Amino acid sequence: MFKKILIANRGEIACRIAATARRMGIQTVAVYSDADASAKHVQACDEAVHVGGSAPKDSYLRWERILEAAKATGAEAVHPGYGFLSENSDFAKACTAAGLVFIGPPASAILAMGLKAESKRLMESAGVPLVPGYHGADQDPALLQLEADRIGYPALIKASAGGGGKGMRVVEKSEDFAAALASCKREAINSFGSDAVLIEKYVQRPRHIEIQVFGDTQGNCVYLFERDCSVQRRHQKVLEEAPAPGMTEVLRAQMGAAAVAAAQAVNYVGAGTVEFIVEQTAYDQPESMKFFFMEMNTRLQVEHPVTEAITGLDLVEWQLRVASGESLPLRQDELRIQGHAIEARICAENPDNNFLPATGTLQVYSKPQATSFERGTIRIDDGVREGDTISPFYDSMVAKLIVHGDTREQALARLDTALAQTHIVGLNTNVQFLRHVVRSHAFATAQLDTALIQRESAVLFKQDPVGLQAAAAAVIADALHAEFAKQGADPFSRRDGWQSHGTTRRRFELEYDGLPVCAVLTCTSPLRLQVGEGAESDLQFTPQPTSQGDGLWVQFNGQRIHSAVHTQDKASDGLRHVFTPQGSTRIRLLDPLAHSGEAATEVGRLTAPMPGKVVSFSVKAGDKVKAGQALAVMEAMKMEHTVQAPHDGTVAELLYAPGDQVAEGAELLKLSA
C-alpha cells in the first residue's frame, strides 16, 4: 500500500479522498491555487503545495507543476478526483513516465472512452445498444445539420470530449440548429480543448441510469449496481439515488452485464461509471424500459456516496487498493444492496433565475449532524466552512447531502428533514428548491425522467412555503427577543408591556417580495401584532436553541412554528433569512432612522449578472433590438449565460470586448429606448 499520495484536485472531493487515506494510514499532499490558499482541503491534508493562479488553467490544470509537487514531496501516487485532470490521458501517461501511480484507469482506457464518438463506435462493435445518431469525424457544420435533420428532432448536440453537462444542447427544430451548434462548440473548446461534437436523437421521457463498475489489474471486473440520476438542470445532476426506483432484477442484470462488457472491452482498471439513457413507455411500466449506452466516465463520480451507502463499501479505499496492485475485495456474488440512498447537490445558484450561479461569502453555513462517514443515516461531503467565499473560478457546488434509509420513503423523509436543517446565508442556494423537488408528487412517486424539473415547474419555482404573516412574526419576535435580552428585567421593558401611561404601539416597516409592508405591534399582555391587512393576533415567543443556533418558538395567527432568523451583512440593508421546518424565505426589516432614498435605475443599463468573462456580443452599436433578444454571452463557473434585452430599443454602446473579464454588476452595454 502507498505511504503518501498527492491529491490533484480541490474542494469536497479532495477532502473526501484525504479522509479515507487518513483512515488507512496514508499521508496526503494537497495542491492549491491562489484562491484556495486557506481552503478546507488544504488543511485536510498533511502537506500542501501552491501550483498557480486562481483560474484552473493556471493551477489545477497545470499537470507539469502538479507532477513536480508530487516528486518534491515524495508522493508515490496521484489521485485526480473528478473533473480537472481526472480523464486526461496525457496526464495519466505523464504520471507513469514520472514513476508515479495514477489512481485511475490506464491511459488507453481513458483515451478510448474519453471521446464520445470513438467510445460509441467501440460499444457498437461490442454489441451494446446505442441511441441513433452521428458519431463521425467530419465536423463540417453543414454535414452536422444534415445529420440532425436525418435523425429527427428534438436532437441532442454533445461535445465529443465532454462531461458534466457542458457542451450540450437540445435542439427542438432545424432552424435553431446552427446557433445551438456554435454555442455548444464554444463551450466545448473552453472546457475540454476540443470543439468536436456528436449528434443523437433526443430520447423522449428518458431516464438517466448509470452503473458503477470496478476492475483490477488481475482482469476481474464487477458492477456495484445502479444509480438513477434523472433529475437534472442544464443537463447536470441535481438529485441522485440508488438503487434506481422501479428497476427489475432482470434489467439490473442486463445493464450490469453490459457495463462490465464495456469496461472489459478497454481493459478497465479502477472505478468507472457506464451511463445509459433509458427509454420508458410509461412511468409505471418498468418492464417496458429499454437502455442505450450513452458514455463511460473513467473516474470516480460525484454521486459515488449513494453507492457506498447501499453497499457499505468505501470506493476510495477500493481505488487505493486496486491502484497498489491488490485484487478486488469482493466478487460479484458477494455484493448486496442494503436499503435506499439519495444525494442532493447543494449549489450556489438561483433556481428562480434559470439557476444562475451565485458567488459570495458563507456568512452562515449550518448543516445537520452527520451520523457516520462510510454509511449511515446522514452524511455531508463538503470542501467549505462558514466564512469561506464561493468564487467564480470553480464549480458552484457547495456540498453534497447524502441520506440512507431502509426504504425510499424513509430516505425521502430524512432528506427533507436534513435539508430543513441546512441554513446558508450570504448567497443564493438551491436548498429550498431541492425541498420542493423532494416533496413533489412526481419525485415522491418516482415518475422520473430528465424533464422532471421542466414539467413540474409550477410547483418547483417561485414558491414560498413560509408566507408573509409567519415571516413577519418571526423577524419581529427575533428583534424583540434581542431587545429584551439587552434591556434586562426592569418594569419599563418587561415583555408583558407594563408602562405608566396608556397603550403603546410600535410600527415595523418591512419589505417582502419587493413590496413594502407595515406591521403594528400593540404592547399589551400578551403582545398583539397586525401584519399588513391581516387580522390582529396574539404574538408569543419562547427561546428554543437548536444545533443550528438560537431559535424561537413563535405563536401567531393560530400557528406555532419553530424559526431561526439570520441577518445578512450590513450591506444587505436589514435582510433577514427565516428558516422553519416548512421552508425558508427572506424578508427585510427596515431601520426607520436610516436614510431610505432609493437610487433610480438607469433605463437601458445592462449589467453582468455574475463575475465572469465576456464571450461574445451578437449586436453592435446602432442595432435595433427586440425585448428578449440575445445581446451577449458570458461565461462563469464553467457555464455560458445569455444576456437578453429587457425591452425594445437601440444599442447605444458596447462597453467591453469579447475576452474581457468583468465584475458582477459591471455595465456591459447601453440600450436606449
Phi-psi region at 518: left, alpha or beta (left = phi > 0; alpha = psi -120 to 50): beta
Look at residue 136 in the predicted model and tell me its pLDDT. 87
Summarised one tens digit per residue, pLDDT across range 599-635 is 333 445 688 877 788 999 999 999 999 988 989 988 8
Residues 341, 403 contacting (CB under 8 angstroms): yes
* Least reliable range by pLDDT among 187-196, 349-358, 657-666: 657-666
Q: Please compute the mean of the pLDDT values over residues 473-489 and round it to a whole number.
A: 83
Catalytic residue among 16, 299, 321, 345: 299
Look at residue 634 in the predicted model and tell me its pLDDT. 86
* Least reliable range by pLDDT among 135-149, 225-239, 290-304, 583-597: 583-597
Reply yes or no on whether the pLDDT at 469 is more than 90.
yes
CATH of domain 468-589: 3.30.700
Looking at beta carbons, which pairs linking 332-339 to residues 24 or more positions away fall under 8 Å? 332/222, 332/223, 335/222, 335/224, 335/225, 335/311, 336/311, 337/225, 337/242, 337/243, 337/310, 337/311, 338/310, 338/311, 338/312, 339/309, 339/310, 339/404, 339/405, 339/406, 339/407, 339/411
Residues 299, 316 contacting (CB under 8 angstroms): no
Look at residue 493 in the predicted model and tell me its pLDDT. 42
Give residue for cell 461574445.
616
Q: How many residues does the chain have?
A: 673
Summarised one tens digit per residue, pLDDT across range 61-92 is 999 999 999 999 999 999 999 999 999 999 99
Determine the topology of domain 132-201 in CATH.
Answer: Dna Ligase; domain 1 (3.30.1490)
Q: Please compute the mean of the pLDDT values over residues 138-142 and round it to a whole number.
A: 95
Look at residue 119 in the predicted model and tell me its pLDDT. 84
Look at residue 52 in the predicted model and tell me its pLDDT. 97
Residue 271, phi then psi, degrees to nearest 5: -85, 135
Reply yes or no on whether the pLDDT at 420 is more than 90.
yes
Q: Please compute the mean of the pLDDT values over residues 419-432 and round it to a whole number.
A: 96
Reply yes or no on whether the pLDDT at 5 is more than 80.
yes
- Which one is predicted more confidently, 53 or 281? 53
Query: Per-residue confidence at 637, pLDDT binned at 50, 70, 90?
Result: low
Reply yes or no on whether the pLDDT at 339 is more than 80.
yes
Query: Per-residue confidence at 549, pLDDT binned at 50, 70, 90?
Result: low
Q: Please compute the mean of the pLDDT values over residues 638-648 and round it to a whole number.
A: 80
Residue from 416, 220, 223, 206 nearest 310 by CA: 223
Look at residue 491 in the predicted model and tell me its pLDDT. 41
DSSP secondary structure letter of residue 565? E
Reply yes or no on whether the pLDDT at 211 is more than 70.
yes
Global pTM reads: 0.82
Tell me, yes or no, if 299 is annotated catalytic: yes
- Which one is predicted more confidently, 622 or 495? 622
| CA 57/CA 271 separation, integer angstroms | 26
Reply yes or no on whether the pLDDT at 506 is more than 80.
yes
Look at residue 459 in the predicted model and tell me its pLDDT. 95
| CA 309/CA 424 separation, integer angstroms | 26
| CA 606/CA 125 separation, integer angstroms | 52
Reply yes or no on whether the pLDDT at 103 is more than 80.
yes
Residue 123: all three cell numbers together: 460499444
Quickly list DSSP for 128-162.
--B-SEE--S---HHHHHHHHHHH-SSEEEEETT-
Q: Please compute the mean of the pLDDT values over residues 131-146 and round it to a whole number.
A: 92
Among 71-75, 202-206, 511-515, top mean pLDDT goes to 71-75
Question: Dihedral, CA atoms, 80, 84, 89, 93, nearest 10 degrees?
Answer: -50
- Which one is predicted more confidently, 102 or 354? 102
| CA 184/CA 178 separation, integer angstroms | 10
| CA 229/CA 448 separation, integer angstroms | 9
User: In this prediction, what percent of the chain has a pLDDT beyond 70?
Assistant: 92
Determine the topology of domain 605-672 in CATH.
Answer: OB fold (Dihydrolipoamide Acetyltransferase, E2P) (2.40.50)
Q: Please compute the mean of the pLDDT values over residues 464-475 and round it to a whole number.
A: 95
CA dist 39 → 352, 373, 424, 578 (Å): 29, 21, 18, 28
| CA 618/CA 112 separation, integer angstroms | 37
What is the domain class of 206-457 according to CATH? Answer: alpha beta
| CA 466/CA 225 separation, integer angstroms | 39
Residues 53, 1 contacting (CB under 8 angstroms): no
Give residues with Cβ within 8 angstroms of 119, minimum separation 6.
112, 113, 295, 296
What is the domain class of 4-103 according to CATH? Answer: alpha beta
Burial tier of 575 (Cβ tally within 10 Å: 0-12, 13-18, 19+) = middle
| Domain 468-589 identical in fold to domain 605-672 | no
The domain limits of the chain are 4-103, 132-201, 206-457, 468-589, 605-672
Amino acid letter, 581: P
| CA 672/CA 605 separation, integer angstroms | 9
Look at residue 597 in the predicted model and tell me its pLDDT. 42
Reply yes or no on whether the pLDDT at 349 is more than 60.
yes
User: Strand order in 639-644's β-sheet?
Assistant: 639-644, 630-636, 612-617, 661-662
- Which one is predicted more confidently, 654 or 370? 654
Residue from 336, 227, 328 nearest 269 by CA: 328
Q: What is the mean pLDDT of the chain?
A: 90
Look at residue 600 in the predicted model and tell me its pLDDT. 37
Reply yes or no on whether the pLDDT at 487 is more than 60.
yes
Give residues with Cβ within 8 angstroms of 70, minimum separation 6.
6, 29, 78, 98, 100
Look at residue 593 in the predicted model and tell me its pLDDT. 55
Residue 3, phi then psi, degrees to nearest 5: -95, -30
Residue from 658, 586, 666, 582 nearest 620 by CA: 658
